[in-house]
Amino acid sequence: MAEDFRTAFDDGQPIQTIASVTNTAKEILLPPGAQQITVGSIDAALWLSFTGTEGGTLTGATSVWTVATNYFTMRVRPNVSTAYVSTQAAVTTTVTVILE
């Protein structure tokens, strides 16, 4: 099931967490007007993409990656309403998402 952050700006909560992210894609529904997304994990390298399907596999062909204990920021193009995140290896982690 997708993580619905569409009201994050209205709620004053631009920093969110997603528990139990694995190596299958987790869909993130972005708030209208989002211009940037930042993702990071303390203990797992991540993939971030604007192309994918919930439960699918993200790869370097359509994704960017970040190492563990780091954040990666990417601009959100106009009219993009969904992003996808997964771990690079078969591990489970909590992902922090910062929306701007």
Instruction: Quote the pLDDT of residue 32.
Output: 96
- pTM, two decimals, is 0.95
In the chain the domains, ranked by start, together with CATH numbers, are: 3-99 (2.60.120.1050)
pLDDT number for residue 2 = 96
Q: What is the DSSP string of 31-77?
A: PTT--EEEEEESS--EEEESS--TT----TTT-EEE-TTEEEEEEPP
Write out the chain's pLDDT in tens, 100 residues.
899 999 999 999 999 999 999 999 999 999 999 999 999 999 999 999 999 999 999 988 899 999 999 999 999 999 999 999 999 999 999 999 999 9
pLDDT of 18 reads 97
Total H helices, total E strands in the chain: 0, 9
* pLDDT score of 14: 96
